[in-house]
Amino acid sequence: MSDTVLPVAGASPYDVVVGTDLAGRLPAMLGSGVQRVGVVFPESLADLARPVLDALAGAHEVTRLPIPDGERAKTAAVAASCWDALGEAGFTRSDAVVTVGGGATTDLGGFVAATWLRGVRVVHVPTTLLAMVDAAVGGKTGVNTPSGKNLVGAFHEPAGVLCDLATLRSLPRAELVAGLGEVVKCGFIADPEILTLVEGTDPDELTADSPVLRELVERAIRVKIDVVVADLKETGGQDGHPGREVLNYGHTMAHAIERAEDYAVRHGEAVALGCVYVAELARRAGTLAPEVVERHHRAFAHVGLPTTYSGASFEELHAAMRVDKKARGSQLRFVVLTDLAVPTVLAGPSEENLRAAYDVLSGGEQEVDA
């Protein structure tokens, strides 16, 4: 099957390419004039980074920037070590960064590129399903602090994204399933055909070489492209649409759970839990019909994602949500649905409703409307 090229319009247009064995596209995507390239990759993914390093070796001076695995990479200290390496190698504004890895690598490497000399080119080569459909597209970068996730960051659009589906062949099954959390989320906020595909497919058939998985990847990326082109810096949408904030559907609770679990829970798993929570919250606020709420439980569970969580108390999660980036002053804000693919913002929900939605998330009985 030929590669799929998904163009991202805007002030700094670029392409997202979906296919297999894409490393050969990298030099052209970086463009002419780039002499030095810093390749950011987790030490555990050296084998996956090798085709990228080989593709660059002939025409570029390559600086390897190995980082820790997962969220442990997203610290100011790791970013500083990358800056030091770029400085020692003499990187100029015409040089570039390439990231090879999952969402944490993309976030950290993108942040390094955004801040080195106030911004150099970056190309992302995501190696997880989660990174392909979420972190690699749209230009958000960031690191974590003790106060929360992604509280320090910058918008820095890439020069291109190479979603090489071949890299998913070595991805642990649990990681692939976790990535489906963001895919299913896209079905609820913008493209219900994603839900139809997911619900109509045996989860065991969703593999790296599955045509259905490829369609899901491309559909989820298109959802994100459409949103970020319309509202790159999350300033708001039109006609009541939340704009880019819609991509954070479920994320207020998801980030609280991740923080409570010291980031030991996978992001896609936390997103599934957060979406179930916010659907229950929307039902209590009177914006979402019970059958759509139930579909949240069913769709995430179908692919093997969790739909209940009781690892932290409501009080602990509530406190964490209050420092979420989407909060305004002391008021919590949640992206909610009024129907499939019809999002809006719910500001300042009552603590009674917040707690009641948590009670369902933690395994309590789901209420049934008379």
Phi-psi region of 21 (alpha: psi -120 to 50; beta: other; left: phi over 0): left
- CA angle at residue 264 from 259 to 267, to 5 degrees? 75
Coil, helix or strand for 310? coil
Was 308 annotated as part of a binding site? no
Would you give the distance in Å from CA 150 to the centre of its chain?
12
Tell me if 140 is assigned to a ligand binding site.
yes
> Has 157 been labeled as part of a binding site?
no
To the question of whether residue 134 is assigned a binding role by annotation, the answer is no
Residue 251 assigned as binding residue? yes
Q: How far is CA 4 from CA 161, 190, 229, 308, in A?
A: 12, 21, 19, 36
Contacts of 133 (CB under 8 A, 6+ apart): 179, 182, 183, 186, 217, 220, 221, 224
User: Is 127 flagged in the annotation as binding?
Assistant: yes
72 is in an annotated binding site: yes
Residue 109 annotated as binding site: no
Sign for the CA dihedral angle at 247, 21, 45, 37 comes to: negative
182 is an annotated ligand-binding site residue: yes
15 is an annotated ligand-binding site residue: no
Q: How far apart are CA 255 and CA 272, in angstroms?
A: 11
Q: Is 205 annotated as a binding residue?
A: no
- The answer on whether 55 is annotated among ligand-binding residues is no
70 is in an annotated binding site: yes
The answer to whether the CB of 296 falls within 8 A of the CB of 303 is no
73 is in an annotated binding site: yes
- To the question of whether residue 224 is assigned a binding role by annotation, the answer is no
Q: Is 106 annotated as a binding residue?
A: yes
Are 28 and 174 within 8 A, CB to CB? no
**Separation between Cα atoms, residue 309 and residue 228, nearest integer Å:** 31
Binding-site residues from annotation for NAD(+):
69-74, 103-107, 127-128, 140, 149
- Per the annotation, binding residues are 69-74, 103-107, 127-128, 140, 149, 182, 251, 267
Residues tagged in the binding site annotation for Zn(2+): 182, 251, 267
